[in-house]
Structure 1
């Protein structure tokens, strides 16, 4: 593995205008499926792959990438990121991509996803058409077995749908094109390590891009599939995810509006939302097709108040404090 890694680094994507960035951690089979799907994508001309393995000890993802690089249609560059945490991996990808002078755009996709036909071409076409700094697309859940009959009740498993073209703030970074200009304007660290243990780093990243006055666009045909294993296809997991969203959304808002005034304003809004969500709870008795959504929205509202009070959601490991600074 050492020799292959060194060789790939020397043959890195120095002339690529589009770099597809993939963070990976102990998912070699899923990464292989992603790379196989990328192999046949339209729009690969002038593109290259940049894969960051966050398991410096096992290097399973790096090994898969090195194997497939031998006959892949575009260059593959591999990074080993020993410091654990998704923010560290994402920052390593951005820093490495910006080191390639020809790079004009970074395309982000996770290792538990794989693109549908036309994905990359749709992202590139939308950016060319709108000039937006950031372009996103839908993410379709793909369950290990049959989708639970309650899956459509929750926004967690409903692909986001927007009108094609220019749009408002996007929320997630798992199917995203970002211009080099936007990344250079943000400066490092692009993904705040304060969110390393809780998630929400992508929303913070996009919120800061919006604050710079840069635009967003939506490409409905730039669709990817996301693997949903049995451990996630449970109501309990969905409610836990809604709690996390409530916490991390509020952490991002607190960072954007620091100080007592910002906290009071967020608190008033959170109390109002909780009141509205609580008033909807009696509908659980008869709205069978909306029960999980009603319960999830109430959990999310409670989580907002928890975060305003200073709580953080250490879903990945020990919590890290959120600072008011903008990297």
Structure 2
């Protein structure tokens, strides 16, 4: 489904991957259709990673609005994950510049105009600003999520020349979740000699979504993609993501292993010593996480539980990724 093509080809195509979040997509499309950039100069391509009639109708409703830009609904079935969905989107357009955002963002009215203004001759990509409001007394989840505002390059807000995307092959579809696929593209562009600039005036708001209990544990699955990124770009990974292995987590896991082995061998004294070491390191991890966040009892309990479980889960998923991608330990 697509509106009639406007007389002039669009200068920029906005690619929005989505997956069964019609309410969020509706909000995002409302903001995208209200851009100050003339509607004839841009198009919107919604890449549905879980093709659904409700999602298609959401796009169609916005496409019918008077003065709306051209909108396309693109069902994606060949891959799974936002990386593959974005590839399907930018390859479906001939626009020379591709803007990426997510279905849970709210681009400000001048987002596209400001982003295009930053795409000066010789600039191959720009990273816009992400605003993620959090409460004054945040939870650990809210504080952690807000670090997206500090990202060097995030697909929630960036513009890339189509020629550069063609040259580097777009996104690596092995990133099956929304994690590190944007850094992978950034590193591919940097290694290809392409120029990436900041566009602080191009702003998208990224409201926090409600999260399930102990969401930090589920998030550890994403760590396996760190190993893929490290395998492909070890130098840039060490410079921009992590300078070395997570020694704190490794120390906690090593002490746990000593406790188990010592008990199995009947070495009670060694098990107690290792257990005390584990307790001290885990307590330090808990206190570091809880210090800048709220202190109500439910949140304290949740943070304690996740502080105990995160280190072994994180190391487990690093090992899974290292084996799956035959990579080193990031």
For the pair shown, which has the larger CA radius of gyration, 1 or 2? 2
Deviations 1:139-159 (A, max 9, x none): 23367xx67633697342245
Can you give the 5+ residue segments of structure 1 that lack an aligned partner in the other structure? 163-169, 313-319
Superposition TM-score, scaled by structure 1 size: 0.70
* Residue 182 of structure 1: how far off its partner (Å): 0.9
Which of 223, 240, 244 aligns to 1:269? It is: 244
Shift of 1:179: 0.9
Matched with 1:184 is 166
* Cα pair distance change 1:285/1:275, threshold 3 Å: same
Give the secondary-structure state (helix, strand or coil) at the position aligned to 1:43.
coil
The aligned residue for residue 149 of structure 1 is 138
* 2:319 alignment partner in structure 1: 309
Mapped to 2, the partners of 1:12 and 1:135 lie a distance apart of: 26
Q: Do structure 1's residue 40 and structure 2's residue 20 form an aligned pair?
A: no
Q: Deviations over 1:171-200 (max 9, x none)?
A: 42111111112112113xx22222115743
**2:127 paired residue number:** 136
* CA distance in structure 2 between the aligned counterparts of 1:192 and 1:13, rounded to whole angstroms: 34
Structure-1 residue corresponding to 2:92 = 96
1:121 aligns with 2:113: yes
Q: RMSD over aligned Cα, in angstroms?
A: 4.1
Q: Does 1:220 align with 2:222?
A: no
**What is the number of equivalent residue pairs in this alignment?**
285
Question: Counterparts of 1:268 and 1:122 in 2: how far apart (Å)?
Answer: 34
2: CA distance, partners of 1:267 / 1:118 = 34
How far is 1:224 from its partner?
1.3
Q: Is the 8 A contact 1:270 1:301 kept in 2?
A: no
Contact kept in structure 1, 2:115 and 2:159, CA below 8 Å? yes
2: CA distance, partners of 1:132 / 1:298: 46
Asked if structure 1 preserves the Cα contact closer than 8 Å seen for 2:216 and 2:310, the reply is no
TM-score scaled by length of structure 2: 0.70
